[in-house]
Amino acid sequence: MNSLNQKALTLLGIGLPLCSLSLVLHTNLIIKLLMTFTSVGLIFWALMLTMLDAKMNKEEETLK
Protein backbone atom coordinates (compact mmCIF):
# COMPACT_ATOMS: atom_id res chain seq x y z
CA MET A 1 0.00 0.00 0.00
CA ASN A 2 1.48 3.33 -1.00
CA SER A 3 1.44 6.58 0.95
CA LEU A 4 -1.49 8.11 -0.97
CA ASN A 5 -3.71 5.15 -0.09
CA GLN A 6 -2.61 5.34 3.54
CA LYS A 7 -3.44 9.06 3.66
CA ALA A 8 -6.83 8.40 2.08
CA LEU A 9 -7.64 5.67 4.60
CA THR A 10 -6.57 7.93 7.45
CA LEU A 11 -8.80 10.73 6.19
CA LEU A 12 -11.72 8.32 5.86
CA GLY A 13 -10.98 6.99 9.34
CA ILE A 14 -11.37 10.51 10.69
CA GLY A 15 -14.10 11.81 8.38
CA LEU A 16 -16.62 8.97 8.59
CA PRO A 17 -16.85 8.79 12.41
CA LEU A 18 -16.93 12.59 12.57
CA CYS A 19 -19.86 12.62 10.15
CA SER A 20 -21.68 10.01 12.24
CA LEU A 21 -20.93 11.87 15.43
CA SER A 22 -22.28 15.11 14.02
CA LEU A 23 -25.57 13.37 13.23
CA VAL A 24 -25.87 11.85 16.71
CA LEU A 25 -24.99 14.91 18.76
CA HIS A 26 -27.80 17.33 19.46
CA THR A 27 -25.69 20.32 20.35
CA ASN A 28 -25.40 23.77 18.92
CA LEU A 29 -26.35 24.07 15.23
CA ILE A 30 -23.10 25.88 14.44
CA ILE A 31 -21.00 23.06 15.92
CA LYS A 32 -23.10 20.46 14.11
CA LEU A 33 -22.65 22.25 10.76
CA LEU A 34 -18.92 22.70 11.36
CA MET A 35 -18.48 19.00 12.13
CA THR A 36 -20.54 17.99 9.10
CA PHE A 37 -18.69 20.22 6.64
CA THR A 38 -15.33 19.20 8.08
CA SER A 39 -16.14 15.51 7.74
CA VAL A 40 -17.46 15.95 4.19
CA GLY A 41 -14.29 17.85 3.31
CA LEU A 42 -12.11 15.04 4.70
CA ILE A 43 -14.09 12.39 2.81
CA PHE A 44 -13.87 14.44 -0.42
CA TRP A 45 -10.11 14.87 0.08
CA ALA A 46 -9.74 11.11 0.54
CA LEU A 47 -11.67 10.54 -2.69
CA MET A 48 -9.39 12.95 -4.56
CA LEU A 49 -6.29 11.18 -3.21
CA THR A 50 -7.68 7.82 -4.30
CA MET A 51 -8.44 9.12 -7.78
CA LEU A 52 -4.96 10.66 -8.03
CA ASP A 53 -3.42 7.34 -7.04
CA ALA A 54 -5.48 5.51 -9.66
CA LYS A 55 -4.38 8.00 -12.31
CA MET A 56 -0.73 7.62 -11.33
CA ASN A 57 -1.02 3.82 -11.42
CA LYS A 58 -2.62 3.97 -14.86
CA GLU A 59 0.14 6.23 -16.18
CA GLU A 60 2.73 3.92 -14.65
CA GLU A 61 1.15 0.93 -16.42
CA THR A 62 1.21 2.70 -19.79
CA LEU A 63 4.89 3.50 -19.39
CA LYS A 64 5.78 -0.17 -18.91
Q: What pLDDT, on a 0 to 100 scale, did the predictor assign at position 36? A: 83
9-62 pLDDT, tens digit per residue, is 888 888 888 888 887 877 788 888 888 888 888 889 989 988 998 898 898 888
CA distance 49 to 53: 6
- 1: pLDDT strictly greater than 70: no
Q: How far from 46 is each of 10, 25, 28, CA to CA, in Å?
A: 8, 24, 27
pTM for this entry: 0.76
